[in-house]
Amino acid sequence: MNKTIGFIGLGVMGKSMAGHLLDAGHTLHVYTRTREKAADLLARGAVWEDSPAAIAQACDIVFTIVGFPQDVDKVYLGDNGLVANAKPDAILVDMTTSKPDLAVRIAAAVAARGGRALDAPVSGGDKGAREGTLSIMVGGDRVAFDAVLPLFEIMGKNIVYQGLAGSGQHCKLCNQIAIASNMLGVCEAIAYARQAGLDPETVLKSISAGAAGSWSLSNLAPRMLAGNFEPGFYVKHFIKDMAIAAESADGLRLDTPGLDLALALYRKLAAAGCEDDGTQALYKLYA
């Protein structure tokens, strides 16, 4: 694929994802609000651009992974954003977890200018981003998906096309709903093990390989036990995701008591000053 690629958002996950594209030999242009976060990639050959507009004007395919829906809206639909400045046949790929209806609006705006758009949120955290093993859930233009698939395969291992615009976001919300209740179970299981006088690490050896096994139990429970609450995925971003999921569920007239409880507890955790911790910091409420 002889295309110039742009990447916007070089946070905990985006930096590794962009690095894989660069390491694969692609010409990569980058932009992030804090230029210092791009220093390593620039030293490895990435090209700095001063704005989303500059990225759009220089690149054939642009990936974004930013913080919140309002950031997505600004990066794509703002006056200095991607849509207004994109090449006529550009492919724009938002990998942020955002609102399904915003993905639909972006796709329509991009199509009106002759381009194609994908919503492609990811799961796998910092570990999946570093190792190139992310799950990527994709909605939007099928032709664009087929064109971008070789690039997705550099960043992830489980890449599934879900359907029309917004479908990738809906799938990611399913993912976050499943994780929300699971995180409660993981924390409560460890708290119970401690209270019962068991060695939690020994308990994990048994339950992580049985029917209770999950990604969170295998990857985040050991961090909880080690007192490591560094962010693989920020509490504040998980709250954002759960709030979007709760709003979408309301629109679908679906009750989600597990999600609602997890959201309330994570908001309590954030109010205690832990919004920049990793999601495993929920254990602090139990410990």
For the chain, helix (H) and strand (E) counts, in that order, are: 15, 9
Structure-token pair, residue 261: 């409880």
H or E segment and range at residue 151: helix 142-155
Q: Tell me, what amino acid is at 68?
A: F
Both tokens of 277, joined, read 């911790």
Of residues 3, 172, 236, 268, which has the active-site annotation?
172
Identify whether 15 is a catalytic site residue. Answer: no
Query: CB–CB of 235/276 below 8 Å?
Result: yes
| CA atoms of 255 and 170, how far apart (whole Å) | 16
Neighbour-count burial for 100-135, b at 16+ CB within 10 Å, e otherwise: bebbbbbbebbeeeebbbbbbbbbbbbbbbbebebb
Question: How far apart, in whole angstroms, are the C-alpha atoms of residue 181 and residue 153?
Answer: 29
Q: What's the token pair of residue 209?
A: 């390989």
Instruction: Give the whole-angstrom CA distance, residue 48 versus residue 59.
Output: 12
Instruction: Show the 3-state SS of 179-224.
Output: HHHHHHHHHHHHHHHHHCCCCHHHHHHHHCCCCCCCHHHHHCHHHH
Q: Which residues are catalytic?
A: 172
